[in-house]
Amino acid sequence: MSKLGSMGPQRTSISLKAYWNLLVSYLRRQWLWVTLLAVLLLLNIGLQLANPQIMRRFIDLTQAGEATAVLLHIALLFVGVALLQQVVAVLAAYVGERVGWTATNALRADLAEHCVQLDMSFHNEHSPGEMIERIDGDVTALASFFSQFVIQVLGNLLLIVGVLVLLFREDWRIGLALAVFSLAALLILGRLRDIAVPHWMAERQASADLFGFLEERLAGTEDIRANGARAYVLRGFYRLMRAQMKVSLKAALMINILLNAMLLLVAVGTAVSFAVGAYLFYAGAITIGTAYLAFHYTAMLERPINVITRQMQELQRAGAGIARIRELFQVPGRIQPPRLADSVALPDGPLAVTFEDVTFSYQNPPALDKVPDSPALNVLHDLSFHLRPGTVLGLLGRTGSGKTTLTRLIFRLYDPDSGAIYLGGSPPSRDLRQIPLPDLRQRVGMVTQDIQLFHAAVRDNLTFFDRAIPDERVLQVIGELGLGEWLRALPQGLDTVLESSGGGLSAGEAQLLAFARIFLCNPGLVILDEASSRLDPVTEALIERAVDRLVQGRTAIIIAHRLGTLQRADQIMILDGGRVREYGDRAALANDSSSYFYHLLQTGLEEVLA
């Protein structure tokens, strides 16, 4: 289960300042639209207050025997105001939706940017499906809060005040009775404001767990079916749906407490209005039109109280969403970019690589975990070596020896627990933590066995959506890598849209596209995880030629799995349990019968390093 939050309800108190800060932060960017929305809502309130006055006059003039022509004009005025009020209401709904979607999209973008900047330990702990629900589902719950909450609550409070002022003008006893009723209703609703927040938080977390489960299982459909695990997956699916149903029912029950309280209050208000209106009418203090006015305004109070109640429901949903969004925003990124004053750029050309006493362990991400981190085991132990610019290093070791971890540290996907890593040309080298991340990841390229392709055009997959790279350069690289015939077979050339995750491409074609990416960014250090063992001989020859061209004039680290790959290496490093077992010149080690590398050459890498 995810550690982003607990499945059970937790008592959560969201301060009004937190609500206000979020509103101001995302609504001030579109203050013109917010102002227009406020004007439309206030105009809507004014029209609602005007029409009962017109109806009261119509009733009283009818009782007095006024001429039909006058009554007809008043009736037409009533219909005209009612139609105008509907038009204003539709415009307010449109503007409100626009404001809400604009604000929530901006919040989604900020959340997505924050999550992208978090280090890999966070993303290893939380599935993509869960994060989609956190970034999209939780924010969607805030749409009404952004678009209408403040304006609707303030506007309907103003409507209530307007109704009471007009009733006081007609008769102070009617005004006083309904003022007491309105104040009591609002106080009761205010006390019930936070009753459902913890249950809505639990419902949102249950939804995130379900989405995370679905994403992982749908991605592994082939393996699940091939291994007969469908029953197991369905049981897990039913379990999560049952858990979501339980917390959703509890949240809905808490909301019904608000609804039932509102209905009871409306019934009490209607009874008070009838009683006071009848008493004053029979006492001769008011006309039948005024009695109708009192009843109509009392009925009008039902709508603002209903709207305020509904907004309180939205506030509770928003409170749950805000709490989870703030929780996510507060997760610190362990990979901190250097301060501008301390940052240094990498030089052009091949890069030197230096590890000094680097120790690293994978640890749980902070802040969102509700349980203490379990003790972490070191993956690398006091690792030290120096790789000169332009040198090709063959990196060997059993599975779990730390080869992939070493390359991730160079990319700053993680930072070492202790020690330092340096990159540079000629001395002095630059501490990895002083290099701006965009510069670092532009000057270091990696090709792995798992190639990630996007549902986008071939051009965008190769350039990572950088339109500054001309098509001529892209076509040149494709031709050099032997992909020209493949490109010409595509229906729209560079504009052909590829399937996500490389669907429709062979493993070799995907690998060559990954090489093309590296050629286009022209890094000073390349990291290659050999992937040619499962390819046909023709494609393997193309990839071998691409590797030879790629390492020319660059520093390279090649994670080798086969003997043939090591022929281009200048130096060899063998890792064992996160420590350097052997490191030196390839030719010297190959000719030294006492070296471990010599032993590997005699027995075969595939057997010894499996």
DSSP of 430-473: EEGGGS-HHHHHHHEEEE-SS----SSBHHHHHHTT-TTS-HHH
pLDDT for 583 equals: 92
Three-state SS at 341: coil
Q: Is residue 412 within 8 Å of residue 440, measured between CB atoms?
A: yes
Q: For residue 230, what are its two tokens? A: 């469908």
Q: Is the pLDDT of residue 511 over 90?
A: no
- Residue type (1 letter), 74: I
What is the pLDDT averaged over residues 558-564? 75
The C-alpha atoms of residue 255 and residue 265 are separated, in whole angstroms, by: 16
**572: pLDDT confidence band, cut at 50, 70 and 90?**
very high
What is the pLDDT averaged over residues 1-14? 45
- Is 347 a domain residue? no
Q: Pick the more confident residue, 503 or 553.
A: 553
430-431 β-sheet, strand order? 378-387, 352-361, 418-424, 430-431
- pTM, 2 dp: 0.63
Q: Is the pLDDT of residue 240 over 80?
A: yes
Please provide residue 430's backbone torsions phi and psi, each rounded to the nearest 5 degrees: -105, 135
Q: Are residues 467 and 589 in the same domain?
A: yes
Q: Are residues 299 and 180 in the same domain?
A: yes
Q: Poorest-confidence range of 103-117, 308-322, 377-391?
A: 308-322
pLDDT for 564 equals: 66
Closest CA to 281 of 80, 60, 548: 60
- Is 200 a domain residue? yes
Please provide residue 421's backbone torsions phi and psi, each rounded to the nearest 5 degrees: -125, 135
Q: For residue 211, what are its two tokens? A: 């989405």
The C-alpha atoms of residue 35 and residue 350 are separated, in whole angstroms, by: 57
Q: Is residue 453 within 8 Å of residue 505, measured between CB atoms?
A: yes
Q: For residue 120, what are its two tokens? A: 């890999």
The C-alpha atoms of residue 409 and residue 423 are separated, in whole angstroms, by: 12
Three-state SS at 603: helix
Write the pLDDT tens digit of every residue in 242-281: 888 888 888 777 777 767 777 777 777 777 777 777 777 7
In angstroms, what CA-CA distances link 377 with 362, 405, 578? Answer: 7, 13, 11
- Is 338 a domain residue? no
Q: Are residues 457 and 404 in the same domain?
A: yes
Closest CA to 528 of 492, 497, 491, 565: 565
pLDDT for 7 equals: 38
Three-state SS at 238: helix
Q: Are residues 318 and 359 in the same domain?
A: no
| DSSP secondary structure of 511-537 | HHHHHHHHHHH--SEEEEE--GGGS-H
Q: Facing residues of 150 across strands?
A: none
Q: Are residues 404 and 519 in the same domain?
A: yes
Q: Are residues 81 and 193 in the same domain?
A: yes
CATH number, domain containing residue 451: 3.40.50.300
The C-alpha atoms of residue 610 and residue 597 are separated, in whole angstroms, by: 15
Q: For residue 82, what are its two tokens? A: 């009612």
Q: Is the pLDDT of residue 2 over 60?
A: no
Closest CA to 170 of 62, 288, 302, 44: 288
Q: Is the pLDDT of residue 9 over 50?
A: no
Give the angle subtended at the CA of 94 by the CAs of 93 and 96, to the nearest 5°: 65
Q: Are residues 171 and 233 in the same domain?
A: yes
The C-alpha atoms of residue 442 and residue 36 are separated, in whole angstroms, by: 46
- Is 400 a domain residue? yes
What is the pLDDT averaged over residues 5-12? 43
Q: Is the pLDDT of residue 585 over 90?
A: yes
**369: pLDDT confidence band, cut at 50, 70 and 90?**
very low
Q: Are residues 311 and 435 in the same domain?
A: no
- Is 368 a domain residue? no
pLDDT for 556 equals: 92
The C-alpha atoms of residue 85 and residue 127 are separated, in whole angstroms, by: 48
Q: Is residue 359 within 8 Å of residue 380, measured between CB atoms?
A: yes
Write the pLDDT tens digit of every residue in 157-184: 777 787 788 778 777 887 787 788 777 7
Q: Are residues 395 and 279 in the same domain?
A: no
CATH number, domain containing residue 32: 1.20.1560.10
Q: Are residues 312 and 357 in the same domain?
A: no
Q: Are residues 289 and 415 in the same domain?
A: no
- Is 339 a domain residue? no
Q: Are residues 37 and 134 in the same domain?
A: yes
Q: Is residue 385 within 8 Å of residue 406, measured between CB atoms?
A: no
- Is 29 a domain residue? yes
**84: pLDDT confidence band, cut at 50, 70 and 90?**
very high
- Is 7 a domain residue? no
Tally the domains of the chain. 2
| DSSP secondary structure of 6-65 | -SS-------HHHHHHHHHHHHGGGHHHHHHHHHHHHHHHHHHHHHHHHHHHHHHHHHTT
- Domain containing 112 equals 16-329
Q: Is the pLDDT of residue 437 over 80?
A: yes
